[in-house]
Structure 1
Amino acid sequence: MVLPRIGHIIYIELDKQSETQQAGTLKTRISDMQGELAWIEIPIADSTGRSVVLPSGTPYKFWYIGPDGSHYHFYTTILGKGKDQIPTLMIKVPPKDKIIRTQRRNFVRVELQIEIAVMLNEKVRAYHFLAKTIDLSGGGLSFSCPVHYRLNEGDELNIWLCLPNKSTATIAHARVVGEVVRCKPPEEEGYPQWVSVKFTKVSEADRAQIVRSCYQRQLELRNKGILE
């Protein structure tokens, strides 16, 4: 179990609490911790980019991505405002047995087509090309590309992703380093090859962006009745 720590980015799921508060996701960061107490920066709404001061005594669902790549969530209550010069909110971090790991490092991939830039930096195979993903998760992705890019299992790729944010109608960007784990040639001549990659290096913030895009895609597929 990975507990949140100072500097950790945390997301807050905001259900509609009143006529003036909209549902959505808030982003914050832990600025200080003392025992079971933590102080978080004033959260920012994904939908507007504006600060949101949450009322004391209100319970919320918090979630974060651990350094091991796993997804964790817990429920806790806003205890009040911090006393430092920098505006913060105080929360109580629950014990380990109350923090739930909902996904392992090898996340379930969802069908999602996004634009990516791929680079293989070798003397003989110095590739830099654009492609589209076939599926995506917090732990890896698959994409298709022309067969003249001679990729092999074990190749290390630098990948830049353009991630849609449905709640803000904006595009976020993330960078990962990944290892090619499988290359599948096309079944017919003239078609692209299929390449599967697992992430080996990705920042906490970038992985959280990727997971959020996957989560939004899962909700979209469920609403369409495609995914249970």
Structure 2
Amino acid sequence: MSNEWQDALVTGQKVQVTIWDAEDDSIEYTFSSQIDQMGKTMLSLAAPSSGVASIYPLLQPGVVVGVMLEINPTPCIFYPVIASKPTAEGGIFWLKIPENPQIEFVQRRKHVRIPMVIPFVLEYMQADKPISMSARTDDLSGGGMRFTGMRLFPPAQQLRIKLPLAGGPQVLQLKARVVYSVQNSRKKHPEDLYIVACQFQDLEDAQEMALVRECFRHELKLKEQ
């Protein structure tokens, strides 16, 4: 581990934790926590105070979790293994850091657009009335995306996007601002008339982590092909 990475592993450091359902890894839960105690290869985190019924049964020894550290200016995600389940509701649980941990730097990946197609629904205002429209992503990053659809949007148009992740139940509710839109010269479907680039706005840490995780999953699939 780099010195920067080690320096961030201190008592009181705030983190975002993601855990996946062992029976269906498209189902994931993210919660905020902080480091309670720190050792050479072990650390303990505060257990979640909400979503207890869904999350606590998943916090079992041997399960891998994703932990995002807020290291400025490059937050990173690493993947320790649960060593012990929470001592009690609202207690702590222990994680073991692998000898050669996999580390993903969020900022480096944040604006790397990964090609992927995800059907989603967006909403925009027209004459003070909300209009819904179906669309498809063309690519996605932790900071924005391009999508195809049947409407040309002006720059700075505000959008609300409902983006499902990995075919699971999680749907991100995102705010976005149109950067540009142009006629789509390489459309694969009749409804893909235009291609629109937009930038996400007011992202929460958990939303950004979920987007980065989605990009990471798709990038791995592309490398496996």
TM-score interval (norm. to shorter): 0.5 to 0.7
User: Match for residue 132 of structure 1?
Assistant: 136
1:21-40 alignment to 2 at 5 Å? Answer: 29=31, 31-34=33-36, 38-40=44-46
Q: Output the aligned Cα RMSD.
A: 4.4
1:121-160 alignment to 2 at 5 Å? Answer: 121-123=125-127, 126-146=130-150, 149-160=151-162
Query: Structure 1 residue 103 and structure 2 residue 102: aligned?
Result: no
- Please, which runs of 5 or more residues in structure 2 have no aligned partner? none
TM-score, structure 2 as length reference: 0.64
User: Match for residue 10 of structure 1?
Assistant: 17
Counterpart-to-counterpart distance in 2, 1:68 and 1:195: 31
1:1-228 alignment to 2 at 5 Å? Answer: 8-11=15-18, 29=31, 31-34=33-36, 38-41=44-47, 50-54=57-61, 62-64=66-68, 66=70, 71-74=75-78, 86-90=90-94, 102-104=105-107, 106-123=110-127, 126-146=130-150, 149-165=151-167, 170-187=168-185, 192-224=193-225
Could you tell me how far 1:88 is from its partner in structure 2? 2.4
Q: 1:84-141 deviations in whole A, cap 9, x for unaligned? A: 6544214599xxxx99661317431111111111111242675321111111111111
Counterpart-to-counterpart distance in 2, 1:32 and 1:199: 26
Please state whether the residue corresponding to 1:116 is helix, strand or coil.
strand
TM-score, structure 1 as length reference: 0.64
- Please, which runs of 5 or more residues in structure 1 have no aligned partner? 14-20
Counterpart-to-counterpart distance in 2, 1:222 and 1:188: 24
Q: 1:39-88 deviations in whole A, cap 9, x for unaligned? A: 2328x9xxx99424326xx9x78532759996513476867676665442
Q: Quote the sequence identity (%).
A: 19
Preserved contact between residue 67 and residue 204 of structure 1 (Cα < 8 Å): no
Could you tell me how far 1:221 is from its partner in structure 2? 0.8
Change (3 A) 1:65 1:142: farther
Could you tell me how far 1:155 is from its partner in structure 2? 1.2
Change (3 A) 1:218 1:203: same
Counterpart-to-counterpart distance in 1, 2:186 and 2:214: 32
Preserved contact between residue 79 and residue 103 of structure 2 (Cα < 8 Å): no
Counterpart-to-counterpart distance in 2, 1:87 and 1:171: 28
Q: 1:123-171 deviations in whole A, cap 9, x for unaligned? A: 267532111111111111111111xx34111111111112125xxxx34
Q: How many residue pairs align between the two structures?
A: 199
